[in-house]
Structure 1
């Protein structure tokens, strides 16, 4: 019987796997369309990160053992973003000059960084932040992230974000704005 599953698709050493949005169940994925690999790579662009998760809506059949999903149709395969993320995340940050983004997710166990201008993507191990309720500091090997609860403008849109962020990466300072998971998302004014 055909099912439609929604979740995060990743590629690892053993092929593709899907982590569901609803209950976080995981399935190994087989592809009968012949398109999953190229569409996955396209969804990871720009600045792909090894093992990157992309948002997927896939139709197919579950195996009798319940651990494999055979894809018969790809309904959606897009980069994950803060407006359509289906697993909990703590902060989603972005900046300009250069264009970059950062996702902080305890549920995924990582801090994901993408620099669009340099086509660079990196993953850092998630760490428990130091916080006083107004400032959150994440320190991982190779990256430092300080998020402050204060209004922020990215200078490119009319969106007013509720948080500012400073990222130190390889000695370079990046500044930008952030949204926090579980809080209302900002809208253009």
Structure 2
């Protein structure tokens, strides 16, 4: 082959080599979901969401927005006009006058008509919070351990082990001070039978052989 022909062949291959270097073969995935807490109310037939400590207003759309609307109307029938929501989804463009954008809901963590809501200062430090009734109990899990609160008992603070199980289930266990504690949670819609609050996890607490059931939700330290 002549030198001229070799040079021409090399020049012809350059665009193909450049194309191979540019193409990565990795398609872009969907944008990460945004988790927000705030107040929900119905305005002109639309659900409007206002994040905590903000002036922005988002119209709830698609996905789990229907769930939010159904639960909001049920809580309203129970006499609770102000609804706190802990949601995750995609933020979108403006939905018209009086709106700063849309919020396509993909996950409902919690909906409640009573409680601390936006004023819950401990929420962002929590991994998980679970509670139940008859008898009442509340368990909070954080980076420094878990704390079990019950009426007529001193708060019980314990170290714990966390185990991830199939189907999104979790187990938090502790054996200290002569006591055995297990908290089992599963991704299942759960309604508090006293307040009507909706949570995205069901819970079962086992303490020294006693079984107590309730609901749970992730704190701000866990999505």
Greater share of residues in strand:
1
- What is the TM-score with the length of structure 2 in the denominator? 0.41
Structure with the greater alpha carbon radius of gyration: 2
Greater share of residues in helix:
2
